[in-house]
Amino acid sequence: MIRMESVTKRYPDGTVAVDRLSLEIPDRSITVLVGPSGCGKTTTLRMINRMVEPTEGTISLDGADLQQQPVTTLRRSMGYVIQNAGLFQHRTILDNIATVPRMIGWGKQKSRERAAELMERVGLDASLGKRYPYQLSGGQQQRVGVARALAADPPVLLMDEPFSAVDPVVRKGLQDELLRIQDELGKTIVFVTHDIDEAVKLGSMVAVMRTGGRLAQFAPPAELLSD
Ligand code: ADP
Ligand code: ADP
C-alpha cells in the first residue's frame, strides 16, 4: 500500500500545489486522482516516484518511508506513463520497449522477446515492432507507452493523463484495455485525469482534488457525492 500522510508541496516560488493530502492507495487496484487543471494531481503523482519531493508530510510504500529508499530502486518498482507516451523517436517500437529490460540487465534476445510479448499484451500487432513512433497513431503510441512501463514488471504503475490526447473512440478502447491488463496482472495503478467520467469508469477508488491541492473526496465511484 502507498500511504500519504498530510503531504504538502510548496514550490520554490511559493505555490502550494498540494496541501496536507492524506491518502491510502490500496494494492492491486486502480486509484484515480481527478480534479481541475492545476489542482495538484501531477505533483501528487510525481511525489510517489520522487520526481518531486514533498515539503512536509510522509509517503510510505508497504510501510517503508520513501525517503529511506534509493531513488533508483524506487523508480524500478514504478512504471510511469505520460500523455504523449514520451517515446524515443529514433528507436523502433520494439527497441523502445526492450530498452527497459536491457537497462535492468536482461540479455538482448530475452529483452526483445519480452518486448514482443508485451506488444501482444497491450494489443499491438507484432508487425508494428519495426516501425518508428512517428509511424504510429496516437492511440498506438500510448499502447507502446503502457507496454514500456510494464516491461520491468513493476508492481506499481503511475499514469498521468495517458489517454487525454487521443480521440474519444480510441480512448474508450484504451480504457477497456487498461481494465483488462489490471485484471490480468493485478498492478497497483495510480491514474491521473481531469475527466470525471474516466475516473468513474476506471477507479476502484477516486480521489477528488480541488484547486489549492486539497482533497475533497476519497471514495469508490458509486459513493461519490456530486457537486
Ligand atoms: P495538475 O496536474 O492538477 O494540473 P500540477 O500538479 O501540475 O496540477 O500543478 C499544481 C499547481 O502547482 C499549479 O498551480 C501549477 O501551476 C503549480 N506548479 C506545478 N509545477 C510547478 C513548479 N515547478 N513550480 C512552481 N509551480 C508549479
Ligand atoms: P505472465 O505472463 O505470467 O502474466 P509476465 O507477463 O509478467 O507474466 O512475464 C512474462 C515472462 O517474463 C515470464 O516468464 C516472467 O518470468 C518473465 N518476467 C517478467 N518480469 C520479470 C522480471 N522482473 N524479472 C525476470 N523475469 C521476468
**From the CB of residue 83, how many other CB atoms can be counted at a distance below 10 Å?**
17
pLDDT of residue 103: 87
Minimum-distance ligand 1 atom for the alpha carbon of 39 = 3
User: pLDDT value at position 10?
Assistant: 98
The residues pairing with 205 across neighbouring beta strands, listed in sequence order, are: 31
Angle at 208 between CA 205 and CA 210, to 5 degrees: 165
pLDDT at 227 (0 to 100): 64
Nearest ligand to the C-alpha of residue 55?
Answer: 1
According to the model, what pLDDT value does residue 86 have? 87
Res 59: pLDDT: 97
Which of 97, 110, 113, 114 most suits a substitution to test ligand 2, by most atoms within 8 Å of the C-beta? 114
What's residue 83's pLDDT? 87
User: C-alpha cell of 86?
Assistant: 514520451
Per run of 10 residues, the mean pLDDT along the chain (length 227 residues) is 98 97 97 97 97 97 92 91 90 95 91 95 94 95 93 94 90 93 95 96 97 96 86
| Mean per-residue pLDDT of the chain | 94
125 CA → ligand 2 middle, Å: 20
Q: Are 218 and 59 in contact (CB under 8 A)?
A: no
Answer yes or no: is the ipTM higher than 0.85.
Answer: no
